[in-house]
Amino acid sequence: MRNYTIAVIPGDGIGKEVVEGALIPIRAVASKHGARLIETTFDWSCETYLRSGRMMPEDGIETLRGFDAILLGAVGWPKTVPDNISLHGLLLPIRKQFDLYANIRPHRLLPGISGPLVKSNFDILCIRENTEGEYSGAGGRVHVGTPQEVAVETAIFTRHSIERILRYGFEQARRRRGKLASTTKSNAQKFTMVLWDEITEELAAEYSDVEVTRYHIDALSARMITHPESLDVIVASNLFGDILTDIGAAIQGGLGFAASANINPRGGVPSMFEPVHGSAPDIAGSGAANPIATIWSGSMMLEHLGEREAATELVAAVSRVTTDTSLLTPDCGGTAKTLALGQRIADRI
């Protein structure tokens, strides 16, 4: 049996519930295919911050370094801890310290699930640069609390990071339908986004078998809604990718279906897998949260670990259940509870 060590961080709110529900089918499919997940759970959350002043211990990154993968639920509890503290105290340090530069988010409709669009035959893979750009954290504030207060936020783009995320996107496009959409706002942002466009054109010459289209972010946002079936692989900066993938979540039926992987394709460090949704304080504790995004993220984790057959079967099991929305959670029109849905999917494996 192949063993994999998994750091489990349920986090805040519904994160605890969806992780518990998702692990039921994830464990089942792994075991069926000869893999054993050795899990260690870390209680790192906003509650941790309120107790200790830190979202995770000072040696948290080093603690995680020895694991094969990280499965995270959700982070944030804005009533007690500002979002900028929870984000910069847990999620972003993991992404940056392990150089998890590729944030991968698939967008397609599962059987039986309807989105708000007439179009339903889309299959989009959005790849977001995950370590710099608009979320670099560089900047500051001066004259705080005065009429002259100034806040500066600096977006940092390097040739190294732009090239590697675009190259990863080109490689994925080669494995899929051979189309890549690169998005910027280079008509208005004349330095960083122009550099991005230039590197896109340089790599396009190397990947002559991939059809490349350059979009401005506003035009691509509209196209995801009007012609999603025309898109294959999208590569975007940190901020633009964040926006586009929320659109992607909306057209695929909601955040309950939006999975993501934060990976370092070179390996040697644990990659992190998490649903796109937040902690949803309004329904936390009700047992009604949809675990499918976390289960799908778990499938991406298994594939990253080399368990491709298990990953494929897990999504297939989800698809067998989604055909009857009455068996799903309330966000899909059903009455199922989180753990019951996780078990129902496990039973289809």
pLDDT tens track for 158-199: 999 999 999 999 999 999 999 999 999 999 999 999 999 999
Percent of the chain with pLDDT over 90: 92
pLDDT of 78 strictly over 90: no
Exposed/middle/buried for residue 3 (C-beta within 10 Å: 0-12, 13-18, 19+): exposed
Question: Based on the domain organization, do 236 and 294 belong to the same domain?
Answer: no
Model confidence at 207: pLDDT above 90: yes
Half-sphere exposure of 107 (CA within 13 A, CB side): 32
Could you give the CA distance from residue 137 to residue 313 in angstroms, rounded to a whole number?
A: 39
Which residue in this structure is represented by tokens 């977001």? Answer: 128
Residues 89, 208, single domain; the answer is no
Tell me what the mean pLDDT of segment 81-104 comes to. 93
With 80 as the cut, is the pLDDT of residue 300 above it?
yes
Residue ending a domain, among 218, 251, 284, is 251
* Res 13: pLDDT: 94
Question: Of 228, 251, 274, which closes a domain?
Answer: 251
Residue 115 pLDDT more than 90?
Answer: no
Residue 133 — left, alpha, or beta (φ > 0 → left; ψ -120 to 50 → alpha)? Answer: left
Residues 43, 83, 190, 218: which is the catalytic one? Answer: 218
Count CA within 13 A, CB hemisphere, residue 337. Answer: 8
Q: What is the mean pLDDT of the chain?
A: 95
**Both 89 and 10 in a single domain?**
yes
Task: Clarify whether 246 is annotated catalytic.
Answer: yes
Catalytic residue flag (residue 185): yes
- Active-site annotation holds for 68: no
Q: Out of 135, 168, 207, 215, which one is annotated catalytic?
A: 135
Q: Are residues 81 and 188 part of one domain? A: no
Question: Do 122 and 225 belong together in one domain?
Answer: yes
Q: Which of 83, 95, 92 is nearest to 46 (CA)?
A: 83
Return the closest-CA partner of residue 185 out of 208, 157, 210, 163: 157
Nearest to 272 by CA among 7, 87, 45: 7
269 and 345, same structural domain?
Answer: yes
Res. 27 pLDDT band, cuts 50 70 90:
very high
Among candidate residues 207, 230, 251, the one where a domain is terminated: 251
Residues 95, 146: one domain? no
For residue 119, pLDDT over 80 is answered with no
Rounded average pLDDT over 256-277: 96
Residue 270 lies in domain: 1-107+258-349
Compute the average pLDDT of residues 203-207.
98
Closest by CA to 8, choosing from 56, 48, 36, 42, is: 42
What is the pTM assigned to this prediction?
0.93
Within 10 Å of residue 79's Cβ, how many Cβ atoms? 7
Q: Are 18 and 275 in contact (CB under 8 A)?
A: yes
DSSP strand pairing (259-263 vs 2-11): unpaired
Residue 154 sits in the same domain as residue 220: yes
Give the count of domains, the chain: 2
More confidently predicted of 210 and 267: 210
Whether residue 65 sits in one domain with residue 37: yes
Residue 45 Cα distances to 178, 185, 188, 232, 281, angstroms: 41, 35, 39, 36, 13
Does pLDDT of 118 surpass 90?
A: no
Name the 3-class secondary structure at 321. helix
User: Looking at the structure, do residues 169 and 271 belong to the same domain, yes or no?
Assistant: no
**Environment class of residue 61 by beta-carbon count within 10 Å: exposed (0-12), middle (13-18) or buried (19+)?**
middle
Tell which wins on pLDDT, 79 or 215: 215
C-alpha dihedral (82, 83, 89, 94), degrees to nearest 10: 170
Torsion of CA 66, 67, 69, 72, to 10 degrees: -100
- Listed ranges 83-97, 111-125, 306-320, 321-335; the one with the highest mean pLDDT: 306-320
Strands 259-263 and 271-275 turn out to be antiparallel
What's the rounded mean pLDDT across residues 289-295?
A: 97
* Selected catalytic residue, list 99, 123, 197, 246: 246
Co-location of 239 and 294 in the same domain = no
pLDDT at 315 over 90: yes
Q: Which residue out of 16, 96, 185, 337 is catalytically annotated?
A: 185
Residue 142 is predicted with a pLDDT of 96
Told to judge if 209 belongs to the known catalytic residues of this protein, a careful annotator would answer no
Residue 298 to residues 11, 30, 54, 308: CA-CA distances in angstroms? Answer: 16, 10, 27, 12
Considering the candidates 12, 16, 242, 337, report the single residue annotated as catalytic: 242
Q: Catalytic: 135?
A: yes
Q: Are residues 120 and 234 in the same domain?
A: yes
Q: What is the rounded distance in angstroms from the CA atom of residue 118 to the CA atom of residue 130? A: 31
What is the pLDDT, as a whole number, of residue 135? 86
User: What six digits make up the tokens of 314?
Assistant: 């897990």
Please, which residues bridge with residue 39 across strands? 6
pLDDT range class, residue 342, cuts 50, 70, 90: very high
For strands 271-275 and 69-74, give the pairing.
parallel
**Maximum Cα–Cα distance for the chain, whole Å?**
65
CATH of the domain at 21: 3.40.718.10
Please name which of 71, 72, 21, 119 lies closest in space to residue 329, comparing C-alpha atoms. 21
